[in-house]
Amino acid sequence: MIPTRLGARPAVECWFVMPRKRQQFPFVTFVACHEHLDENGIWNPRDDEPPLDEAFQVNVFGRREQYLALAEALRAFAQRDLSEQGIDHDNFEGLTSVDGKVRVHLILRIGDDVTGTGFESHFPESDGEA
């Protein structure tokens, strides 16, 4: 069991920093798919397989300095120049669970003009703020 809050307070007390209502937090969307090693040695989902239809809870652990480094990496990613293609992405293939049994291939996709990319339905609507 993962406690909701570590420290002096009882584990039954939840302490949420982020607002729980979707419209109050700048959420992104995601698609989860099984991956398979292809003939080129690259992990990818199969074209004929639909995305997963399951529920997951992912607990991310880090110290303050690690979260600050993550925030800086996300800021740098968000500030990429998209003027030429309107869309970009980056792969993080080395993410594994604490016990090494689960591997996650995280692909961050950013787009301002996603029309004609095939990803239109995956991007959340813009809220008009930058």
Average pLDDT score over residue span 94-116: 87
Task: Give the Cα separation of 107 and 92 in Å (integer).
Answer: 6
Q: How many CB atoms lie within 10 A of CB 24?
A: 9
Cα 28 from chain centroid (whole Å): 8
* 130 is a domain residue: no
* 13 is a domain residue: no
What pTM does this model have?
0.68
Question: What is the span of the domain harbouring residue 33?
Answer: 22-122
Question: What is the number of domains present in the chain?
Answer: 1
* 105 is a domain residue: yes
Tens digit of each residue's pLDDT (9 = 90 or more) over 51-103: 888 888 888 899 999 999 999 999 999 999 999 888 999 988 878 888 889 88
